[in-house]
Homo-oligomer: A and B are copies of this chain.
Amino acid sequence: MNKELPIAIFDSGIGGLTVAKRLYRLLPKEKIIYFGDTARVPYGTKSAETIKQYAIQITRFLIRFNPKIIVIACHSVSSLGTSFLKRRFPGITFIDVINPSALQALKTTRNKQIGVIGPPATISSKRYESIIKRIDSQVHVYQKACPLLVPLAEEGWFDTDVTKNIISYYVDDLLEKQIDTLILGCTHYPLLEKAIRAVVGPSVFLVDASEATGIKVKKVLQQQDLLNKGKLKKHVPVLFFSDLPDYRKKIMSRFWNTQALLIKKASTGGKKNV
C-alpha cells in the first residue's frame, strides 16, 4: 500500500477535530481527511440502528479518497464496536476511539478503580466496562453520563464556575469511589480538561481519548510499515462537513483554531433518509 495515502477520520460532528488535531501534530507528514456529519449531529441521542446506517454512509464517502486507515473519532459509533464496519468493508483498517483509552486506563490504574464520563449513549453502551473487564475482571469501572458537557464545550464555557459546578454534580459519585483514573469518554472533553482537573484534584489520572487514539494510530501505521517517511510536505488537512452554517464555523474555531485548514461542504450521498 502507498504510504502517501491519507488517514481518514470521521465523527458525528466537530468533536473528532480534537483527534484530528492530535494526529496532525503527532504525524505532521501525513495527509488528513476529516468528515463531520454536522447535518445529523448529535448521534448520542439516536438509536444503534440509525447510527450504524450513518457510519456506513460516511465510510463509503471516505473510501473515495483511498485512505490507508480510517479513524472512528466518534464515541457513539465506537460504542457499537467496529465489527459491523469491518464486515462491510473487509479491506479497511479501522481504529476506534474507545479501545485505546480503555487500554491506557488499565495501564494507569494502581487501585483498580476506574471512572468513565461520557455522553449518554456512550455510557449506556457499557463498552468501556466490557473491554476493561474482559482484560482484568478485578477492575471496578464506575460510569457517569454527562449530557450537559458537550453543549458547555461547544459554547466555549471551558473553565467557568457554572462548568465546574456541573462537573462536580456529575463526578462527585465517582470520586467517592476513590477512582485513581478517569477516562474522558468524549472527544469534546479535552476542551474542559482544566475545569475537570480543578474538580477531580491533582491525584486522579485523566485519560484523554484523543491522545490515546492518536498514539494508537501511530503504532498501527508503524506496525504495518505505513508511516509516511518522505520529506516533510505541508499537507493541508481537508475537513468535510455535511452542513456548514456560520454558527457551526464559530464553534469549530474553538476546537481547532487554525486558518491552515481546507473546509468544504459534502454529502455522504446516502440514499436512505429518516
Listed in ascending order, the chain A residues whose CB lies under 8 Å from chain B are: 38-41, 44-48, 50, 57, 120-121, 124, 147-148, 150-152, 154-155, 157, 161-162, 165-166, 169, 242-248, 251, 267-274
Pick the contact of A45: B48, B247, B273 (CB < 8 A).
B247
Chain B residue contacts of A157, Cβ below 8 A: 148
Closest 9 A/B residue pairs (Cβ): A39-B274, A270-B273, A151-B151, A273-B273, A47-B245, A242-B274, A46-B243, A120-B247, A147-B155
The DSSP consensus for interface residues of chain A is loop
In chain B, what residue has the closest Cβ to A242?
B274
The listed residue (B57, B155, B162, B273) touching A162 by CB distance below 8 A is: B162
A214–B173 alpha-carbon span in the complex (Å): 43
A124: chain B residues at CB < 8 Å are: 246-247
Set of chain B residues within 8 Å of A39, measured between Cβ atoms: 40, 46, 50, 274
Closest to A165 in B: B162
Query: A248 to chain B: which residues have CB within 8 Å?
Result: 45
Q: Enumerate chain B residues within 8 angstroms of A244, measured Cβ to Cβ.
A: 47
With most chain B CB atoms within 10 A of its CB, the pick from A155, A165, A242, A270 is A155
**Shortest CB–CB separation between residue A100 and chain B, in angstroms?**
25
Q: Are A245 and B45 within 8 A (Cβ)? A: yes
Of chain B, the residue at the smallest CB distance from A147 is B155
Shortest beta-carbon distance from A274 to chain B in Å:
4
A274 touches which of B44, B148, B151, B267 (Cβ 8 Å): B267
Q: List 5 A-B contacts (CB under 8 A).
A: A57-B273, A147-B151, A162-B162, A268-B274, A271-B273
Which residues on B sit within 8 Å (CB–CB) of A48? 245
Report the bound CA distance from A272 to B150 in whole Å: 29
A73 to chain B, nearest CB (A): 19
Question: B residues within 8 A CB of A41?
Answer: 45
Question: Given A46-B243, A272-B273, 13 other A-B contacts at CB below 8 A?
Answer: A38-B45, A39-B274, A45-B245, A45-B248, A47-B243, A47-B244, A120-B247, A148-B148, A150-B151, A162-B165, A268-B274, A269-B273, A271-B271
Question: Which partner residue on chain B sits nearest A250 by CB separation?
Answer: B120
Measured between C-beta atoms, what is the minimum distance from A266 to chain B in Å? Answer: 9
- Flag if B274 contacts A40 (CB, 8 Å): yes
CA gap between A147 and B44 in the complex, in Å: 18
Does A40 contact B38, Cβ atoms closer than 8 Å?
no
**A166 to B41 alpha-carbon distance, docked (Å):** 24
